[in-house]
Amino acid sequence: MGNFDVTGYLERLGVDARPPSFAALRRLHAAHVERVPYEALEVQLGRITSLEPSASLARILRGRGGYCYHLNGAFAALLTALGYQVTWHIGGVQSGPGDAPNVDRNHLALTVAGLPDAPGTTWLVDVGLGDGPHEPLPLREGAYRQGPYTYRLRRSEVAPGGWRFDHDPSGSFTGMDFAPGPAKPADFADKHIWLSTAPESGFVRVCVLQRRDVTGVDTLRALTLNRHGAQELLESPQDWWAAAADVFGISPELFTAEERERLWRQVVEQHEAHVGGRGSEVVPSA
């Protein structure tokens, strides 16, 4: 795993180290989705990132985020270092109602088991779904309300022994299936390359930033900022980068002037393509 800075990670989340418990896990999960954004700006800049958890953490400690492989990979390493029993799982996110349920490896899902105060319960832990859960979900069939969203868990129809997460109808994707596991980083390597480079990849097609909190989600999709339902069109690079910093904690100083110009040019093109009906602004499937 390399040099994994647990102390720095906890400081980034604004929490202290505590023995494993559901209360501690809930606190870590909520802090992560509130403070570490879901984003794939490296993909927009044409760079393929490492899936090594220590590399993902290094980027998080610089004030950045990532998508599921980075966020859940780093979070799993943190939880393991803190004494939690964590399992990686191969998953598949479906972006729209026309997508068939699958476990095509476009998502890394996590479960945690063996908590001292809940020894018989396994928890779905996922800080890499954008507008996904704010807190862990017990891996039991049922409906779970968190903020404006009602999530549902049920047995997967495409992954024997696995589970299905159904998003709220107002969410940015329809659902996610995951296999019983366990998985390892190498299982996601080829899919990560495809998601980072393929013209069909949602991460390549549209720039999306998301940040979840207890009351809802903030989303910046191309030029459209949606703050808990209130939409605003960002019409200048100054406004765009101000939103990236103020809402998602991503400072423009983390990028060169050339990189900032490139990102601005791309989000303008993506917005114009959407307005012109030549594309769709969907949240990427991971």
Q: How far apart are CA 6 and CA 23, in angstroms?
A: 19
Overall number of domains in the chain: 1
* Mean pLDDT, the chain, whole residue set: 94
219, amino acid identity: T
Q: What are phi and psi for residue 117, nearest 5 degrees?
A: -95, 5
pLDDT digits (tens, 9 = 90+) for 153-165: 999 999 999 999 9
In a domain, 67, yes or no: no
In a domain, 259, yes or no: yes
CA-nearest of 156, 161, 204 to 182 is 161
In a domain, 261, yes or no: yes
In a domain, 266, yes or no: yes
Domain limits for position 217:
198-275
Q: Please tell me the number of Cα atoms within 13 Å of 39 on its side-chain side.
A: 27
In a domain, 147, yes or no: no
Q: Is the pLDDT of residue 2 over 80?
A: no
Q: What's the confidence (pLDDT) of residue 277?
A: 65
pLDDT category of residue 286 using cuts at 50, 70 and 90: low
Calculate the dihedral angle through the C-alpha atoms of 192, 42, 54, 18, rounding to the nearest 10 degrees. Answer: -100
CATH of the domain at 211: 3.30.2140.10
In a domain, 100, yes or no: no
In a domain, 269, yes or no: yes
In a domain, 78, yes or no: no
Q: Which residue has the tokens 């979070």?
A: 75
pLDDT digits (tens, 9 = 90+) for 65-84: 999 999 999 999 999 999 99
Q: How far apart are CA 126 and CA 108, in angstroms?
A: 9
- Retrieve residue 103's tokens: 């476990």
Q: What's the confidence (pLDDT) of residue 281?
A: 42
Q: Is the pLDDT of residue 109 over 60?
A: yes
Q: What's the confidence (pLDDT) of residue 282?
A: 44
Hey, how many other C-beta atoms are within 10 angstroms of the C-beta on 4? 18
Render 10-28 in DSSP notation, one character per residue. HHHHT-----S-HHHHHHH
Q: What's the confidence (pLDDT) of residue 250?
A: 98
Q: Which residue has the tokens 């890394």?
A: 108
pLDDT digits (tens, 9 = 90+) for 223-269: 999 998 899 999 999 999 999 999 999 999 999 999 999 999 999 99
pLDDT category of residue 1 using cuts at 50, 70 and 90: very low
Is there a contact between 80 and 86 (Cβ–Cβ < 8 Å)?
A: yes
Q: What's the confidence (pLDDT) of residue 160?
A: 95
pLDDT category of residue 280 using cuts at 50, 70 and 90: very low
- Retrieve residue 94's tokens: 């479906």
